[in-house]
Amino acid sequence: MNETLRRMNGNPIGSAVVTVIRMIGAALGLALIIIAIPFAITPIPLGLPLFIVGIVLLAGSSKTAHRHITNFLKRHPAIWNRVKGMFGGDKDETEAEAQRQAAE
C-alpha cells in the first residue's frame, strides 16, 4: 500500500487522496481494534481476527503506528518471524542494515 501511495504523492491532488486514504485506514484500523476488545471475551472467536486485521490496517496506513508495532514485534522474535512478511520485515531489516553501514 505504501509504495503505490508514495508514487501518488507527487502532485497536489494525489497528496490529498493519499491523506484521505491514510486517515480512513487509520480510523478503520482503530475501530476494528476497539470492536475486537468486547468480542475477545465471547465464546465465538471473533476478537483475535478482528484485532489482527485492525493492527495490519493501522500499520499499513500510519507510519508511526507501523514503527511502534514493528518495534514491539521485533522484541518478541517468535511472533516477529511469523508475521514479518505482512509488515515488510525483510525490507525494514535491509534498510536498517544499510543505514548502519552508511553510519560506519
What is the rounded distance in angstroms from the CA atom of residue 54 to the CA atom of residue 22?
14
Give the pLDDT confidence score for residue 28 in this predicted structure: 92
- Of the two residues 63 and 53, the one the predictor is more confident about is 53
Q: Taking each helix axis as running N to C, give the angle between helix 47-61 and helix 63-74, from 0 to 180 degrees, rounded to the nearest 10.
A: 120
What pTM does this model have?
0.63
Task: Check if the beta carbon of residue 71 is closer than 8 Å to that of residue 96.
Answer: no
pLDDT of 92 above 60: no
Percent with pLDDT over 90 in the chain? 10
User: Domain limits of the chain?
Assistant: 2-103
Provide the grid cell at 53.
486485521
Q: Are 54 and 31 in contact (CB under 8 A)?
A: yes
How many Cβ atoms sit within 10 Å of the Cβ of residue 73?
21
